[in-house]
């Protein structure tokens, strides 16, 4: 059986057993394919959902409250931050963004998985708050030359912007050892399969299979 069929095969056999969800973090320097892989994972796997952040910025046309973001005023955001109701939060260009705990924790109990596209600092904050539910995956480019080629190939940025992005990329790469898994994205399809296999294996961890205890008890009590 080809490798790519294994995840689906395994997952279908675990649907009967309740499990606790997980927080699946994807981090990488810009230009490594993280956004493409994240979108594909959300499109192909019905059990994982994009983490919805809270923000103080105004909604853009077409954005829906509770789907794209939870739109809050500054006072409410500050109150939540003060009450430690965010896993992580940061101020970016004058607007605040944060991950509300209550929404995520309710989903985890229901067996939902959440996908986070955050940098290493956000990853550290999330891990410190809830290490048992966090799975950290870092994507690396095959080489610095290839990363520069991908960033230049977009054709949208001036040379000085690309140089700044490359400096930031090197800084981000230096934190690779803060992650549970590291995948080199040389081939997008192969990288995606590896990420999906990581997700499948983490779902099968005994500590997350909360339905295993009654299931095994039933097996032991059953007469042949």
CA distance 207 to 188: 31
Q: Give the pLDDT confidence of 156-177 residue by residue, as tens digits.
A: 778 888 899 899 999 999 999 9
Q: What is the pLDDT of residue 12?
A: 40
What long-range pairs does 82-87 form, CB within 8 A, spacing at least 24?
86/54, 87/125, 87/126, 87/129, 87/130
Tell me which of 3-7, 68-72, 142-146 is least confident: 3-7
Q: Give the pLDDT confidence of 195-224 residue by residue, as tens digits.
A: 999 999 999 999 999 999 999 999 999 887
Q: Give the pLDDT confidence of 80-89 residue by residue, as tens digits.
A: 999 999 998 9
Nearest Cα neighbor of 123 from 104, 108, 136, 139 is 136
Q: What is the pLDDT of residue 16?
A: 66
Q: Where are the domains of the chain?
A: 3-51+112-216
Average pLDDT over every residue of 89-115: 93
Q: Give the pLDDT confidence of 107-129 residue by residue, as tens digits.
A: 999 999 999 988 898 899 999 99
Which CATH number is associated with domain 3-51+112-216?
3.40.50.300
Q: Do 11 and 113 contact (CB within 8 A), yes or no?
A: no
Average pLDDT over every residue of 56-61: 94
Asked if the model's pLDDT at residue 5 lies above 60, the reply is no
Q: What is the pLDDT of residue 13?
A: 45
Asked if the model's pLDDT at residue 10 lies above 50, the reply is no
Higher-pLDDT residue of 140 and 2 is 140
Average pLDDT over the chain, rounded to whole?
Answer: 89
Parallel/antiparallel/unpaired status of strands 134-140 and 181-184: parallel
């Amino acid at each position: 059986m080809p490798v790519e069929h294994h995840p689906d095969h395994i997952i279908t056999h675990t649907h009967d057993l309740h499990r606790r969800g997980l927080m699946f973090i994807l981090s990488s320097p810009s230009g490594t394919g993280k956004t493409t892989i994240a979108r594909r994972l959300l499109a192909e796997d019905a059990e994982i959902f994009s983490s919805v952040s809270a923000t103080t910025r105004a909604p853009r046309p077409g954005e829906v409250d509770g789907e794209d973001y939870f739109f809050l005023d500054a006072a409410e955001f500050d109150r939540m931050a003060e009450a430690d109701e965010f896993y992580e939060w940061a101020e970016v260009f004058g607007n605040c963004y944060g991950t509300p705990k209550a929404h995520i924790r309710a989903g985890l109990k229901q067996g939902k998985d959440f996908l986070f596209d955050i940098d290493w600092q956000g990853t550290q904050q999330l891990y410190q708050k809830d290490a048992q539910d966090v799975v950290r995956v870092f994507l690396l480019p095959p080489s610095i030359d290839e990363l520069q080629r991908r960033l230049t190939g977009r054709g949208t940025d001036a040379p000085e912007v690309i140089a700044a992005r490359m400096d930031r990329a090197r800084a981000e790469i230096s934190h690779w050892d803060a992650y549970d898994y590291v995948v080199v994205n040389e081939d997008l399809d192969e990288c995606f399969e590896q990420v999906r296999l990581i997700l499948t294996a983490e779902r099968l961890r005994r500590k997350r299979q909360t339905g295993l205890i009654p299931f095994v008890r039933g097996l032991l009590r059953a007469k042949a």
